[in-house]
Structure formats: structure tokens, C-alpha cells
């Protein structure tokens, strides 16, 4: 057996000084937060909604976690081993893990949580296809047995995006189908939900969990010591952006997740307010092309669109500040471990605009375009996608394409994007976002699928891409896996599985007396934060 990780289970509340000092540092004044959206469900296996995931990170912990450098670290797991044939993983839990009611966390809870989570999470479903057995060995140990190697197993258990594998009580989730919501907030994490104080559409309240014992290491990303430094945390619903900003300036709230971009300059100038992005790479913009609607059933026509995408112009139109965006040709996002711009030369070319537009029209005609109308769906209520769509439309029109931009809200676009082929309500292009970390993984990122009718909207269809992705997820040699990533990037650029249209930072705003906010992708976390002084 090869030891993968061993960390001593040192149980501390804070570095030195013991429980009395730790208690003295707990802030009795509530931490008040304004998040984007409304919490509608507390069941993270039932929905991938962002607010449910944020809630789950408050009240649950995970077996493993990604740190700020995207390294896999233990969380509730103390250690794990992997067999030489890569078919057996044995995990040992940390000592003295407890739920918020004081009952111990056991391997049975992990197995029940895993089993239910894998019903709905895409990566969990994929593991099920490799799984030979999942067994509780004793109260602190469980074993995963595979039919063939699945090299991304520990990454799946550490990932913070989509539906993370949170550890929940077996008495709540065992035998409960994932499509049936649970309503019991009993958790394993640093906070407790005060469900009786939850007012839908208005307020969600959490209290510090006195039974939670953080890891000894410093907090980093989703990993490390999750120290709850406030006795009470309140999520407040304030729909109007100007009212949110005023509340922050007046010290009535401590944090706003996503202030609107038009208010960012005012907040940056406000006394006592800090504005910054909490994840350095930003979210990847992704353009989907309808492979089932001519002329984009032809790869040359799809590649022609590269010439109409000016990422610098899109970033400027969307953000008004080039420093908040990044030009990037990587399908698997620049700044990630798998990021590569191999094959994206046409997309990120610095040729003059007239050269690009002329080349784009020539390639379109070579790919079978005969002047038919090209339909771009434009979600006017989504600022990033709307701004980028306007730039794309302008470039294609200037080049001489018979292009029509159909403006609608996002809910209507979600309905329209399901229409395949030519005909009534057909479409050719729309813009969306891939997220800040999801695109980094060539298999778990839904937009990387080229599985034809089973693929995401646009329905890319390419057997070679699917062969490369299947090989990558089984490859246990990191050097060979990295080369497969390069091949996946090149193949994706050649077939135009989607088109990156830049990376976009999303600033948050908070009172400048807060310290310890963590750089975390795909979510927002509220442990490790404290007020200065």
C-alpha cells in the first residue's frame, strides 16, 4: 500500500491559549451578509443551486478539500491509502468528529452520504460506473473498491463546485432518495442553522457550532482549519443593488457577494469599504455553437467564429475595466492546473480587425455558408453574456454576415437553447459562463462533453474527444495525464466544442474591518473571518 497523506489529528480551537482564549475571540456581534439570490432548499444533494451549496459549507464538512492552490487536502479524513493497482482506497476519519447535536460522525454516515450524493452529482454518477463496493470497515474507517482505475477519485471528493460530497447524518439521509428533499439541518460543519429563525426571502440565521473541532492547519480555500469566529451569522435578502450598497456604506451589513458593476466605482471610493474579487482567475465566458443547425454542422464554419470574437473588446464592454478580465484561449481555463492555449492561435490572434473579419467571412463561405440568417440568442438580464453578445453581433454584422440578435431574458433563453436543428425557434449561437473552476476539469465540466445527443446544449459530437476524456479519467500517471489534457485542448479547439470569450472577475465588497476572507472558487465561505481590533 502506498501512503497518500498522513496528518496528525491535532485538535485545537486556536493556535495557543486554549479554550478560554478561543472563546474570548468569538465576536458576539452578528456577521451580516448579502448574498446573490434566495435560499430555497437546504438539501445539497437535491439541487446544485449556489445558495444551497453556500448553506451546506456553513453546516457540513467534507472528507477532502481543495486549498487555494487547488491541491487536494484532508478535511474530515485523517489519512487515506491507495493500493498499488489503484483499485482500493481506504480512508480513516479524524478522531472526535461530531454532528451539531453532539453525536459522533462515523463511517456509516460517510457511506450513507456518499450513496445518496452519487445519485445526482455528475461526477458521483460517473464514480458509480467504476464502483465495486463502498464499505464501512469500522466506526472510523471506510473502503472504496473499484472495478478499474478512476484517477480522479480524490479530486471528486475534494471539489467545491456543483454538488460537493458533504457528510450528513445517516439517520437523516440513509435510504432517502436524492430526489426527495430532507428538511433536517443537523450538520457536521462549523455552524448550525437556526431553522426556526429562517424567514424565506428575508433572512437565514446561523450560530457557531460548539461541537465542531477544526483542523490544526491554517485555512486555505476549502481546506484547513474552519474556525467560526462569530457567534451568529445572518444572511439578509436585499434585492435592490443600490439599497445593498447603501447598507454597506452605512455599516448596516458587512459583506455583499456581487454588487452590480455600475456601483463598484462608488463602493471603491466609499470610506470603510473594500472591493475585490475573491478568486483570482475569474469565471470563464463560453460560447455555445449549435452543431445541429447548418452551417455549423461543418467544422470550418465553426472555426470561422474565432475571427469574430474579440476578447479585449468583450471584456471592455462588459466590465469597463480591462484589469477585471483576462484574455484566454484555454478551454480548461487559464490559471488552472489543466490550463493550456494549445490550438487557440486563431482565437487569440492579434491581427487587425479588418484582417480577422475578412478571414472569418472567407472561412464561413468555405464551410458552406450561403447567406442564410445566423441567430444569436441575447440574454439581456445577464450583464456578462449580454455585453459579450452585443460585441459579437457587431463584429459579425460588420463582416457582412446576415446575423440576427434575438434579445430575451435568461429564463426564455434556457427554454430556447433546447431547440435542435433548423426550423422554427432555431438558433446558432449563445453565450454563457463556465464558472471559475468547473471548466478546469475536462471530464466533469459538462460543456466539454462531445457525446452527441447526450451532450450539453449545442450537442457537440466527436468520438475522438470522448476517447481522450475516457483515457484521461483512467490515467494514473500524472505526466501522461497532463499530455492527455494537451490533446483534449487541441482536439476541442479543432472541433470547436465551445469558444472561450475571456475570463471575468466578479468583485465582492465588504467592510474593511473584516480580515481573513478566503480565496475560494465556485462558492463563498464565512469561516476564518474576524473583525479587526
Task: Give pLDDT tens digits for 467-489.
Answer: 999 999 999 999 999 999 999 99
| Largest Cα–Cα separation, the chain | 77
Q: What is the pLDDT of residue 2?
A: 38
Mean pLDDT of the chain: 92
Please report the pLDDT score of residue 3 as a whole number.
38
* pLDDT at site 13: 34
The answer, yes or no, to whether residue 8 has pLDDT greater than 60, is no
Structure confidence at residue 435 (pLDDT): 83
For strand 403-408 and strand 374-379, is the pairing parallel, antiparallel, or unpaired? parallel
Strands 31-34 and 64-66: unpaired
Using the predicted structure, report yes or no on whether residue 415 has a pLDDT greater than 60: yes
For 69-93, write each residue's pLDDT tens digit: 889 999 999 999 999 999 999 999 9
Q: What is the pLDDT of residue 50?
A: 87
Closest CA to 8 of 188, 215, 223: 215
Q: Which helix (H) or strand (E) holds 252?
A: none
> The whole model's pTM is what?
0.87
Reported as a single tens digit per residue, the pLDDT across 490-530 is 999 999 999 999 999 889 999 999 999 998 887 889 999 99
Instruction: Decide if pLDDT at 6 tops 70.
Output: no
Confidence of residue 25 (pLDDT cuts 50, 70, 90): confident
Where does the pLDDT of residue 346 fall: very low under 50, low under 70, confident under 90, or very high at 90 and above?
very high
Which residues, 6 or more positions from 157, have their beta carbon under 8 angstroms from its beta carbon? 62, 63, 64, 165
Name the residue among 530, 490, 496 with its Cα closest to residue 513: 530
Smallest CA-to-CA distance from 99 within 207, 210, 232 is with: 210
Report the alpha-carbon distance of residue 479 to residue 486 in Å, rounded: 11
Domains in the chain with CATH codes: 2-241+508-531 (3.40.190.10), 283-504 (3.10.105.10)
Alpha-carbon separation of residue 511 from 35, 263, 522, 526 (angstroms): 15, 15, 22, 14
- Helix, strand or coil for residue 411? helix
Which position has the higher pLDDT, 376 or 533?
A: 376
**22 pLDDT higher than 90:** no
Q: What does the pLDDT look like over 445-460, one tens digit per residue? A: 989 999 999 999 999 9
**Percent of the chain at pLDDT exceeding 70:** 95
Give 261's pLDDT tier (boundaries 50, 70, 90): confident
In this structure, what are the phi and psi dihedrals at residue 30, rounded to the nearest 5 degrees? -60, 145
> From the CA atom positions of the chain, what is the Rg in Å?
24
Q: State the pLDDT confidence band at 49, using cuts at 50, 70 and 90.
A: confident
Confidence tier at 20 by pLDDT (50, 70, 90):
very low
CB neighbours of residue 486 within 10 Å: 15
Strands 429-435 and 283-289: antiparallel
- Provide the pLDDT for residue 397: 98
413: helix, strand or coil: helix
Looking at the chain, the number of H-run helices and the number of E-run strands are 15, 22
328 pLDDT tier (thresholds 50, 70, 90):
very high
In Å, how far are 59, 70, 73, 75, 240 from 6, measured between CA atoms?
26, 18, 10, 12, 48
Over range 286-298, report the average pLDDT: 97
* Model pLDDT, residue 144: 98
Residue 161 pLDDT class (50, 70, 90 cuts): confident
Amino acid at each position: 500500500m502506498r501512503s497518500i497523506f498522513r496528518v496528525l489529528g491535532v485538535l485545537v480551537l486556536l493556535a495557543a491559549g486554549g479554550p478560554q482564549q478561543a472563546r474570548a475571540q468569538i465576536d458576539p456581534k452578528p456577521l451580516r451578509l448579502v448574498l446573490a439570490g434566495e435560499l430555497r432548499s437546504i438539501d445539497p444533494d437535491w439541487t446544485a443551486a449556489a445558495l444551497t451549496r453556500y448553506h451546506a459549507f456553513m453546516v457540513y464538512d467534507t472528507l477532502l478539500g481543495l486549498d487555494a492552490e487547488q491541491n487536494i487536502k484532508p478535511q474530515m479524513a485523517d489519512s487515506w491509502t491507495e493500493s498499488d493497482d489503484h483499485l482500493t482506497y481506504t480512508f480513516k476519519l479524524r478522531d472526535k468528529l461530531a454532528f451539531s447535536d453532539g453525536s459522533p460522525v462515523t463511517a456509516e454516515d460517510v457511506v450513507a452520504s456518499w450513496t445518496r450524493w452519487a445519485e445526482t452529482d455528475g461526477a458521483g454518477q460517473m464514480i458509480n460506473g467504476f464502483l465495486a463496493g463502498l464499505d464501512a470497515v469500522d466506526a472510523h474507517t471506510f473502503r472504496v473498491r473499484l472495478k478499474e482505475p478512476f484517477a480522479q477519485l480524490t479530486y471528486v471528493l475534494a471539489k467545491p463546485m456543483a454538488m460537493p460530497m458533504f457528510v450528513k447524518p445517516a439517520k437523516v439521509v440513509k435510504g432517502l432518495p436524492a430526489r426527495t428533499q430532507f428538511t433536517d439541518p443537523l450538520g457536521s460543519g462549523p455552524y448550525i442553522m437556526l431553522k426556526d429563525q429562517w424567514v424565506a426571502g428575508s433572512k437565514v440565521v446561523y450560530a457557531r457550532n460548539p461541537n465542531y473541532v477544526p483542523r490544526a492547519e491554517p485555512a486555505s480555500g476549502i481546506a484547513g482549519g474552519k474556525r467560526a469566529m462569530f457567534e451568529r451569522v445572518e444572511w439578509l435578502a436585499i434585492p435592490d443593488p443600490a439599497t445593498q450598497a447603501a447598507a454597506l456604506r452605512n455599516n448596516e451589513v458587512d459583506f455583499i457577494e456581487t454588487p452590480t458593476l455600475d456601483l463598484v466605482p462608488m463602493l471603491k471610493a466609499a470610506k470603510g469599504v473594500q472591493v475585490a474579487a475573491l478568486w483570482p482567475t475569474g469565471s470563464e465566458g463560453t460560447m455555445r455553437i449549435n452543431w445541429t443547425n447548418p452551417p455549423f454542422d461543418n467544422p470550418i464554419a465553426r472555426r470561422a467564429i474565432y475571427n469574430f470574437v474579440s476578447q479585449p473588446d468583450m471584456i471592455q464592454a462588459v466590465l469597463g475595466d480591462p484589469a477585471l478580465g483576462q484574455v484566454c484561449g484555454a478551454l480548461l481555463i487559464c490559471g488552472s492546473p489543466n490550463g493550456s492555449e494549445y490550438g487557440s492561435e486563431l482565437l487569440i490572434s492579434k491581427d487587425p480587425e479588418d484582417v480577422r473579419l475578412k478571414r472569418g467571412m472567407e472561412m464561413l463561405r468555405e464551410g458552406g455558408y450561403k447567406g442564410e440568417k445566423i441567430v444569436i440568442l441575447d440574454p439581456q438580464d445577464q450583464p456578462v453574456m449580454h455585453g459579450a453578445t452585443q460585441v459579437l453581433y457587431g463584429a459579425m454584422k460588420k463582416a457582412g454576415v446576415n446575423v440576427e440578435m434575438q434579445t430575451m431574458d435568461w429564463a426564455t433563453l434556457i427554454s430556447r437553447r433546447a431547440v435542435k436543428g433548423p426550423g422554427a425557434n432555431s438558433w446558432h449561437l449563445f453565450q454563457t459562463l463556465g464558472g471559475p473552476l468547473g471548466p478546469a476539469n475536462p471530464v466533469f465540466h459538462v460543456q466539454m462533453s462531445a457525446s452527441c445527443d447526450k451532450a450539453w446544449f449545442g450537442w457537440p459530437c466527436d468520438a475522438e474527444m470522448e476517447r481522450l476524456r475516457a483515457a484521461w479519467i483512467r490515467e494514473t500517471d500524472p505526466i501522461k495525464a497532463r499530455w492527455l489534457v494537451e490533446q483534449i485542448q487541441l482536439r476541442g479547439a479543432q472541433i470547436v466544442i465551445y469558444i472561450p470569450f475571456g475570463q471575468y472577475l466578479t468583485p465582492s465588497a465588504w467592510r474593511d474591518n473584516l480580515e481573513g476572507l478566503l480565496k475560494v472558487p465556485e462558492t463563498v465561505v464565512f469561516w476564518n473571518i474576524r473583525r479587526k481590533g
